[in-house]
Structure 1
Amino acid sequence: MRALRRWWHDTAGDLPATFWYLWAGILINRAGAFAMLFLSLYLTEARGASEALAGAVVGAYGAGGAVGVLLGGVLADRWGRRATLLTAHLVTAGLMVALALSRHLLLIAVLSALVGVVHSMPSPAFVASIVDMVPEQRRSRAFNLQFWAFNLGMAVASLLAGVLAEASYLALFLVDAGATLATALVIAWKVPETLRRPARTPRGVPRIGSTARSARRPGLLTALTDRIFLTFVGLTFVLAVLTMQTSTIMPLAMRADGLEPSAYGLVVALGGALIVLGQLFVPRLIDRRRKGFVLATSTGLMAVGFGALAVADELAVYLGAAVIWTVGSMLAAPPNAQINADLAPPELRARYQSVFYLTFPAASFVAPTLGGVSLQYLGSAHWLVVGGLGLLAAVGHLLAGPARERRVAALLRGTRNGRPATSASGPMPAGGPEVATDPVRT
């Protein structure tokens, strides 16, 4: 019993109460956020769209997300984390109701793009709030628990969605709207504003924890010109493209193999269940490993899992492949979030998060738009292309990891010692100028 208590303390102890309300909001939202998982099937089965057109409409959702994640980052840094979260969730609930009642494909495409905007807005605010309130030494466990809640909700959502999709697509969208509204109520009730407005400083003097470049360049421009950070974002984009196969292209492949929507729900639920059962043990498994090596291993596993779908023709093969890529995603979550948080200057925290999270709506656009065409013309060879892309990204992490981790260590040393930290493309406090000027090794 003592060992169990110690494990729980190491996994979830000493986290502030506000974090747990945010965690509950994520869990509630994800448990009901299943409508867009079935958007491609909804379009092809209920609205008669072709596979290519369905991919384009789902791609519009991803394109809207690319706008929304940047907008959410700017608003969370200027307007506040809480206000951004509330606005995004309330508008999302209304748009989901409108999408449920729409019949014309053009209107559905427009609404999908708008839903993409507001669906993506909360991501930077959620993570920025966690970084605001959780001390540095406890952030890894907080991010691990965030990922766990996300996937626990997804497991519940997938099981419910498979049943609802076979019974009524209308119910699918309306229940999603209700869960989103419930999340907004939790935030309004229990989550205070965590953004701390910095004290004014003399012009030209950077604040402690700010970057040399952020002192000269405002807003998103700092993040968008941060070469080490952008290299990391690019590799994360590849991982996101692989992840998005499960919600965009895999349902179409499974339907082509004669499998029912409930079978797809079972595959997604298996991944969520594995994460729910195993994610809390991941930190102890990877804590002593270099983050670059962990990310290379995780991306390689995902590449193998999705590549295996080239020979999938029955449910058992899909389930086996899902185990492989899910283990990869479990290993990737904590180091991805930790590196991203460590690279962000405090005053631009949400904006850095927004650029990082841009990878996911961008992947939501690229994966279905190109993937629908690829599946239609390449067939099962599509999965070999996806697997090859993942293996290239794994090699990229091996090359980029050492320099990136040296930079993170230097940034943390600078902040702890009371010196201004640096952005990834700005001057180093101490640790070697070659790290700052070599984007290939970041």
Structure 2
Amino acid sequence: MSAVATLTGPWRGLSRTVWILVVARAVNRIGAFTLPFLGVVLTVEFGASLGQTGLILAVFGAATIPSRLLGGQLADRLGRRLTIVLGLSGCAIAQLWIALSHTLWSAVLATILLGLAFEIYEPPSQAMIADVTEPSDRPAAYGLYSAALAAAGVLAGLLAAAISHGDLRWLFVADAITCLSCAALVALALQSDARLGTDKATAAGPAVPVPPDERQQVVSVWRDRRLLLLLAGGTIFATIYMQIIIGLPLTLLEQGLPKSGIGIILAISAITLIAAQRLLRVQNLDDFRSISIGYVLLAAGLVVCAVAGSLAVFVIAAILWSLGDLFLLTRYLTQASGLAPDQARGRYLAVFGLSWGIATTIAPLTVTQLLESAGPRGLWLTSAAVAVALAVLQPWFRKRLAPA
């Protein structure tokens, strides 16, 4: 078997649409290293206090909640492709605004705009992947999506490490450029939603007529208790994840380590995800067993982070929690897309994706408060304890998320 066949083995047979989305998102990911630096920029470049930085980042997180809901509504009403382009263009405008700001208030307004556009892309892209893949292929499709982000993350981390030696505002310029590049690729290379539906129907065989009253039925996603339970679990996971993104740069800054170390850690984390995709047979595990293992590895990385005092030890911590992410990220998406009926997939994924908006609101406050009151060790040990609790609770989740 050739090297290429070995590398792409789990993903052979996925549709062209999935590959285009993956490539476009990878292009965007190369520049999407600004969020971990946003707190540092507000503190260093604009003179915000630690408490002010936490509040501003919390406002950013709150803004992503309507952003995600808007993305789901637009995905189901205007179409996936147009919604993706609109979301990425909005992010580019906000990033350039941050880069050109000269006062804290201007940066705050730009940060709010960034939050309002930040999540519009995700529901349509995740829904489109589910639209063109069978349920059995979705773990592989979302796995490819994560692997591409990880591969791009290597370049992102190295680029961040290089640019961060100078003016951090250039990070936002680079991110704006990649957002616009990603939007252009989607607009020019991706087929229209109507054409995608035709291609899927042709591949699946003769269409089964749907009664008009069923087509017009409004699906209330908020009445699906399994989705709400999955949202609760996903929110706790996302909060831990965002605490790493926001808390790690502030921890390094507090311990006097170079800010360029953040980019190095991001690159090592991405390399770990790519290598582990090939070495570990994660696809052979069911969702709940995979999630349990992921939380144990995540907790181990957080414990190491709690005792770390040098960049080398932080790298070890990053390897451990990145292995945990491998078991966690794709499984939550697989579960959420599996709950959704076809006509409401964008809205289901948007509601589930609120976990990230809520987490991005909560995490800045918990990070800054715990850093001030308990220090880095208290922050990371608390997060590790929550991860262990989620690992233990997976059998309970299995029972309650089972099909009715």
Q: Calculate the TM-score normalised by the size of structure 2.
A: 0.91
| Distance in 2 separating the partners of 1:192 and 1:270 | 35
After superposition, where does 1:326-405 map in structure 2 within 5 Å? 326-379=322-375, 380-404=377-401
Q: Structure 1 residue 272 and structure 2 residue 282: aligned?
A: no
- Answering whether residue 301 of structure 2 is matched by residue 291 of structure 1, we say no
TM-aligned CA deviation for residue 84 of structure 1: 0.3
Q: What is the count of residue pairs matched by the alignment?
A: 392
CA offset digits 1:64-109 (Å, max 9, x no partner): 1111011100110011101101111112211211111112222222
What's 2:204 paired with?
none
Q: 1:281: how far off?
A: 4.5
**Structure 1 residues 350, 53: closer, same or farther in 2, change over 3 A?**
same
| Match in the other structure for 1:82 | 81
Q: Which amino acid aligns with 1:365?
A: T
What is the CA–CA distance in structure 1 between the aligned matches of 2:28 and 2:224, rounded to whole Å? 32
Partner of 2:144: 145
Residue 324 in 1 paired to residue 284 in 2? no
Aligned-pair CA distance for 1:25 = 0.5
Deviation for aligned residue 1:241: 1.2
1:201 to 204, 211, 217: 211
Aligned runs of 1:116-265 on 2, under 5 Å?
Answer: 116-194=115-193, 196=197, 201-203=211-213, 206=214, 215=217, 218=218, 222-265=220-263
**Could you tell me which residue of structure 2 aligns to residue 58 of structure 1?**
57
* Residue identity opposite 1:132 in structure 2: D
Contact 1:30 1:157 in 2 (8 A): yes
Contact 1:304 1:324 in 2 (8 A): yes
Matched AA of 1:313: G
Contact 1:88/1:121 (CA < 8 Å) preserved in 2?
yes
Matched residue SS, 1:375: helix
**Map of 1:106-117 to 2, 5 A cutoff?**
106-117=105-116
Counterpart in the other structure of 2:26: 27
| Kept after mapping to 1: 8 A contact 2:98/2:169 | no
Kept after mapping to 1: 8 A contact 2:371/2:379: yes
Structure 1 CA distance, aligned partners of 2:76 and 2:278?
Answer: 31
Distance 1:15 1:248 in 2: 34
Report the 3-state secondary structure (helix = DSSP H, G, I; strand = E; otherwise coil) of the residue aligned with 2:164.
helix
Aligned to 2:201: none
**Contact conserved, 2:147 with 2:277, CA < 8 A, in 1?**
yes
- Residue type of the partner of 1:201? P
Kindly provide the amino acid, as one letter, of the partner of residue 394 in structure 2: H
Contact residue 147 and residue 274 of structure 2 kept, 8 A: yes
Matched residue, 1:426: none
SS in structure 2 at match of 1:166? coil
Equivalent residue letter for 1:77: D
Structure 1 residue identity aligned to 2:16 = A
SS at match of 1:358: helix
**Shift, 1:145, TM fit:** 0.4
Secondary structure at 1:224's aligned position in 2? Answer: helix
Cα separation, 2, equivalents of 1:287 and 1:276: 14
Deviation at 1:328, TM superposition (A): 0.5
Contact 2:139–2:283 (CA under 8 A) maintained in structure 1: no
Identity %: 27
Question: 1:366 is aligned with what amino acid?
Answer: I
Q: Give distance in 2, aligned partners of 1:24 and 1:41.
A: 29
The 1:248/1:199 distance shift into structure 2, 3 A limit, reads farther
Shift of 1:347: 0.5
Are the aligned partners of 1:96 and 1:115 in contact in 2 as well (CA < 8 Å)? yes
Shift of the 17–314 alpha-carbon distance from structure 1 to 2, 3 Å rule, reads same
Aligned with residue 309 of structure 2, among 304, 313, 320: 313
On the 8 A contact 1:162/1:262 being kept in 2, the answer is yes
AA at the equivalent of 2:273? I
- SS state at 2:193 partner: coil
1:424 match: none
Equivalents in 1 of 2:263, 2:165: separation in Å? 11
Comparing 346-355 with 166-175, greater Cα deviation is found at 166-175
**SS in structure 2 at match of 1:401:** helix
CA-CA distance at 1:369 after TM superposition: 1.7
Residue-by-residue CA offset, 1:224-262 (whole Å, 9 max, x unaligned): 221112112211111111111232011111111110111
Residues 313 and 112 of structure 1: is their aligned pair in 2 closer, same or farther, counting only changes over 3 Å?
same
For the structure 1 residues 64 and 32, does the alpha-carbon distance in structure 2 shift closer, same or farther, using more than 3 Å as the test?
A: same
Following the alignment from structure 1 to structure 2, what is the Cα–Cα distance between the partners of residues 257 and 145?
Answer: 36
Deviation (angstroms), 1:310: 2.1
Q: 1:281 & 1:146 partners in 2: Cα distance?
A: 17
Tell whether the 8 Å contact from 1:15 to 1:134 is kept in structure 2 after alignment: yes
Question: Which residue number corresponds to residue 297 of structure 2?
Answer: 301
**Partners of 2:98 and 2:302 in 1: how far apart?**
31
TM-score, normalisation: structure 1: 0.84
Give how far 1:278 is off. 2.0
What is the DSSP-based 3-state SS (H/G/I as helix, E as strand, rest coil) of the residue aligned with 1:394?
helix
Q: Tell me the amino acid that sits aligned with residue 367 of structure 2.
A: G
